[in-house]
Structures are given as C-alpha cells and as structure tokens.
Structure 1
Amino acid sequence: MSREPIGDINLEMLKEFSEAHGISGNEKEVSRVMKKWIEPYADEITYDNLGSLVALQKGDKDGVKVMIAGHMDEVGFMVCDIDKDGYIKMLPVGGWWGHVLPSQTLVVTTREGKRYQGVVGSSAPHGLPKDVKEKVIHPTKLFLDMGVESREEIYELGIQIGDMITPDTKFTVMNNPNYLMGKAWDDRLCAAMVVDVMRLLHKEKHSANLYGVGTVQEEVGLRGARTAANMLHPDVAIALDVTTSMDTPMDKGVNGIGKGVVLSVMDAGIIANKNFLHEMEKICKDLDLDINYDMMTVGGTDADNIHKAHDGVVTMTLSIPTRYMHSHRLIIHRKDYWQTVLLMAEFVRRVDRDLLNKLKDF
C-alpha cells in the first residue's frame, strides 16, 4: 500500500474537527468549527432548532435539492453523580464497551467552558480473582478520578451534574501518512467530508442546490437528521457515516480501511434506494474509483430518519471504514475519505430533474 499521502486533504481541518469536544446535545463547539471551514463555500448558513448546521451552495432556482449529511456529535459521558470523596460517576451518551475505559484519560467541560482532566479508575491485577479479571465492567460502574480530595473541590472547579465528559485524545498522523488517528471520527470525519465536497464544487456551475448538513444527536437516536430533513425537504440525500473496519486480528471480514468507496446496501433502519445505489456504482466506474459494499443488521445512520421525512426521500448511506469505533482512538485511511468525496462531488455535478426521476422510478 502506498506511503504517499492520498488526496487533497486539509489535516489542520481534520485536527480541529477531531479535537473539538461535543457529545450529543452539546455540539455547539463542533458546529462552530464546521461553520469556520464551510462558510467560504456556502451562500447561506442556517440552523434547525436542535442545532444542526445547514450550509447551502446554490444552483438553479428549480434545481434538485441535494442533502449530504455527517453528524457532529461524538460518544461520551455526562457527570451523573459526585461522591463525598470527589469521584465522578459517568452516564454514557452513546454506546461504550467497558473494556476500553479503565485507566483512560477523559476531560470534563464545565458550563463556563473550562476543562479538567481526569482518569477512569481501574484495579491493579495483583490478587484479583480470575472471574473478576475476565469480567467486563459496565461503564456505569466505573468512576472518574479527578485527583481531588472531596466533593467540595469538584464544586470549586465549577463541575456540576450534567457536564460533558469526552476522551482526551490528540489527532495523530500515523507512521504511514495515509493512516490518521483521532477521537470522534464517528462522525466528525464525515462532517469534514461535507466541507470538502462543497470546496470542490464552489467555483463550478452546477444546477443542484447543495445542502451540506452537520447533524446533531445522531448517537442517541438520529434526532437531528429528522428535524433537518423536515426543514429542508430534500429531493435526494446522502448520509455519511463510519462502519466497522474488519481488517484487524480482532475483527476479520470483507471491508477494511484503504479500499476506497463503500456503498451501504442496507442497515437496520434503511434499505438503500436501488436506483441510487446503481447510479453511484456507475459513477465509481466512470471515475475509476474502488467499489465495496456494506450490509449491517445492527445499528443505523442518519439515512434511517432522512428517508422517512415528508413523503419519502431518495436516500442512501456512504460508509467509511474505521478501526476501533466508539473508543478513545480511531484509525481511518485517506484513500477512503478522498474517493468518497470525489464520488459525492461528481453526483452533485450530474444530478438534474431527469436523473432524479430515474432514481424515483421503481
């Protein structure tokens, strides 16, 4: 596999997206990052009432309305209790596996925006019974050690019940520069891809009205996708999200990072519009992009709610393989990012009323 960096990708943008802190319901910091990077390519920027960001790049007055969406929220925690000794109990926001948490550092963000580092407590292995060593501790049974003596010290820091807790992770270019590691790739990576699609197209004439959307609260029920789609009433939509990379000693399967475009055939909440799927296959062949497929029986994406908006929206998901999803550090590949951006940009160039009618023709 090539060690030459693939694609015209702004690493500073990816770093800012990855390192921003924003669990479901707390996406404001992330939306400001997205606004900063997408504003030069948008004619209008608006928000729905949940906080999803919508950037419009205008086409023809009667042009097809295309929505591409990546969600801005990340999995994390909320402060749910503070005991007398200053240990913080955490409520998961999104899915966490207890195995990935002990001894990891997390950051608590106060309502005033101050940040404090803590470490998830763990037991030393010496003398632990075998059944305890092999047991996965549920996240709600763990605690965050802030290095203080009492509850009063926690309050003095300004930490309160309901404050956001997120992984303490820095963006890293790996030893092969095509491999990028960071937190919140689920789904900040895809929010950044929305920016890049609009960047590629902003100096071109296209008939479609392109809505680049950063949705909120995906990890707790695809909520922002519903309100954004109902506000925009798009003709056609692409949801961008990550999928599990099955190329490690722990996970073995077909899809892995660095293989290019992944077309999602279905997941637990949507069956992709077949004509749309076939059109994307055609574009991939025309552009000499790699084609892979994803079929999930558990979990879903923003597409699950978008395609049910109003009287139905022609919708599908494009998937980006990611190692170690829903953990502190995820790894992705530049090839998958860039080929997917090229695919979406070309679709926007091509889509018109005739193609939309073709996609709708069952």
Structure 2
Amino acid sequence: MVDKTLLNEVINAPGVSGNEKAISQVLRNEFKKYSDEIIYDNLGSIYAVKKSKQKNAPHVLISGHMDEVGFIIKKFNENGTVKALSLGEINKNCLLGTAVLLPARDLHGTILGFDVEGNALDSKGDVLIDFGFSNLNELEESDIKLGDRVSFLPVLNKNENSSKIFASNWNGRYAPLMEIEFLKEIQNESFDFDLFVGCTVQEQVGLRGVQTATNLVKPDLGIVLDTDQAFDYQEKVDDRIGCLGKGLLVNFYDKTVLPNRLLISELKKLCRNKRIPFQFYYSMEGSDAAWINKLRTGCPTLFINVPIRNMNTPNSVLDLNDFSSAKEALLDFVGELNTDKIQSFKEENR
C-alpha cells in the first residue's frame, strides 16, 4: 500500500522547524524522478514542477509542510543538562521521560522533570534534557551548540494485520509521503495547467514558509495536505470527529481560512461517485491554507487531510485506510481538473 523503504526514509529524516534540510533532501531525490524541474524559495520550501504544454497555463499548487515539532537548545547548565525551547504546539502531557535525538551530533537523550512532581514543560515552553553529560565541561567538549535542534527519537511501528502505523512525526510527514506517492502515479500524465507539488518549512512556528512559497508559485488553485487531531477515542469530547479508518477529512472550517465552498462540493461529489470514504471535519487550529488562500489576489483553497491520534507527541497514529482514501481522492480530483474548472472555483463568490 505504501512503499516500506520510502516510509522508513521519510519518517526517519529529521526536520524540526528551521532545520528541514534532511527531509528536503529526501524530497529532492524523489521529486527529480517524476518532475520537469525542482524549485525552492529562499527559506527552503521545495516544489516539484510538472509543466503544461499550454502557454500561460494556470498554476495548481499541492502543498503541505515538512517541518515537525521539536526543541531548540537555549542554555547549558552546570550539571551537564541543557535547557531547550519547544518549537510547535507540543502536548505537555507526553514529555516526561521522552526519548529525544540531536541529529546534528547523533546524540540520544531524555526529557527530565523540572520539579519533584515531574512537570516537563514549564510556563515558558522550556524543557530540560539529559544527554548523559556529568558537567558543563563534558557538555562543551561534545560540540553541542546553542541553536541546535532536538527532535523526538524517530519511531516507526506497524503491527501485523493492522492498518495503523505508529510514528513520531506524522504531523510533518503525511504531506511528504503523500506527494511522493502522488507524483509516482501521475509521472506519465500531462495537464493543461502547471502543477507544483511540494512542501513548506517552518509551519509549526507560525506558518512562515508558506508565505514565501506562495509568492514563488503564484497559484490559481491550492490543495493543502495536512493532518488533524482525531477526536474519536477520548472519554469526554463534544463532537467525535476525525475518526481513524473512516476516510479522508473534508474540512469545511479552519480557524485561519474558510475553504472554497465549490471546491468542497466538488470533493464531496467525487468521493460519493467514486465511493471513497470521507468524513466531515472542522478545525480550531490554523494551517498553511491561510496564506495560500489570502496572499496576492487570493486563491481558492481545498484541504485533503487525514486524522491523527496523539498528534504532536512522540508516538502518533495514522490509519492506512485514511491515507489510501486521501490518495485516491487527490488523484481523481487532479485528474478531473481543467482550466474551466479552475476559473469557476476562482469565480465562486462573485
């Protein structure tokens, strides 16, 4: 269903916000097999381009983010521990004893509690990390630097006869994996629009890369690939939305963007006609779609997301059935696109 070698490579490539180079290189190596050109913005966002034979063709952007939550080292302590600032909305309940990795030095460590109660994330968003050093001298001799990024220790597990995959960074790896799989499927196809497929940087720390990337691509239509928190297992929850195994998410509301209504209608119709499992979802979080939607003169934008349990924790859960539903919907939606449809989406609110 998903190439195991590719899955391992994508999950194990580090990419904490501001240091996404390793996962970017994985994307570049795969993108060059299936595209006419690879382009970057000046922050590091990367896109594979499939060019249309039509002159002055509209631009269709398929985009997600490739950065993951993590930490940035901010202080060395006399006892050999380090203090680090969290990057992204990390669930504080998951941190005590969590295994972490400093990829630049290949150092393994663990998150300690600040106090005897075992609280691991303080009011400033800082954590205390033990990399095994006994004092400040040992720490300094290790060549650790202020500003180094620390990630959760990569995790990738799947039980036999289960459709669920456990990984440390699905929020930041769904889009890269989906895009590579998508480009493989369409490598021999041509379109009457220029297609840009790729990933942004620094989404976890304020939707930064998408702003520069959108200005680079200048899209006429945007499709965002992202993950949303599953609310299907908690004891007390107002709405049980984002249920694992029930299909892709049709997001009709996001705190930072109201998706194009005609695009949502087309996606729903396609899923029903093709019998692709889907479920409605609304999000109280923000996303890259906010800037794709409103930069320049505006761009109709659609989500093709999947639900994730334990998002932004060291061990999150994705259901392969949802991934397959999203992949099928993305392939069919893009396959049915043409310049007239793109124009109709742009005119939907006129």
| TM-score bracket, shorter-length normalisation | over 0.9
Q: Secondary structure, in 3 states, of the residue corresponding to 1:54?
A: strand
1:167 maps to 152
- Partners of 2:186 and 2:280 in 1: how far apart? 26
What are structure 1's unaligned runs of at least 5 residues? Answer: 1-7
Task: Tell me whether 1:344 sits opposite 2:330 in the alignment.
Answer: yes
Deviates more, 1:140-149 or 1:182-191: 140-149
Give CA-to-partner distance per residue, 1:73-94, whole Å, 9 cap, x none: 0000011111111111010011
1:266 maps to 253
Give CA-to-partner distance per residue, 1:30-61, whole Å, 9 cap, x none: 10011122221111001100000010012232
1:196 maps to 181
Q: Secondary structure, in 3 states, of the residue corresponding to 1:210?
A: strand
Moved over 3 A (4+): 139-142, 249-252
- Partners of 2:46 and 2:127 in 1: how far apart? 34
For residues 1-362 of structure 1, the aligned pairs below 5 Å read: 8-62=1-55, 63-109=57-103, 113-122=104-113, 132=117, 137-138=121-122, 140=125, 142-250=127-235, 252=237, 253-296=240-283, 298-361=284-347, 362=349
Q: CA deviation at 1:11?
A: 2.2
- Partners of 2:102 and 2:83 in 1: how far apart? 12
Tell me the TM-score normalised to structure 1 length.
Answer: 0.90
Q: Which amino acid aligns with 1:138?
A: D
What are structure 2's unaligned runs of at least 5 residues? Answer: none
Contact 1:108 1:115 in 2 (8 A): yes
Aligned length, in residue pairs: 344
Tell me the TM-score normalised to structure 2 length.
Answer: 0.93
Q: CA deviation at 1:269?
A: 0.4
Q: Which amino acid aligns with 2:30?
A: W
- Partners of 2:82 and 2:225 in 1: how far apart? 34
Q: Secondary structure, in 3 states, of the residue corresponding to 1:79?
A: strand
Q: Alpha carbon RMSD of aligned pairs, Å?
A: 1.8
Give CA-to-partner distance per residue, 1:276-327, whole Å, 9 cap, x none: 111111211222101211111x211110111112100111222210010011
Q: Secondary structure, in 3 states, of the residue corresponding to 1:313?
A: coil
Q: CA deviation at 1:221?
A: 1.1
- Partners of 1:17 and 1:148 in 2: how far apart? 30
Contact 1:170 1:183 in 2 (8 A): yes
Q: CA deviation at 1:225?
A: 0.9
Q: CA deviation at 1:254?
A: 2.7
Q: 1:61 to 1:55 in 2, by over 3 A?
A: same
Q: CA deviation at 1:174?
A: 2.7
Q: CA deviation at 1:21?
A: 1.0
- Partners of 2:337 and 2:171 in 1: how far apart? 28
Q: 1:90 to 1:236 in 2, by over 3 A?
A: same
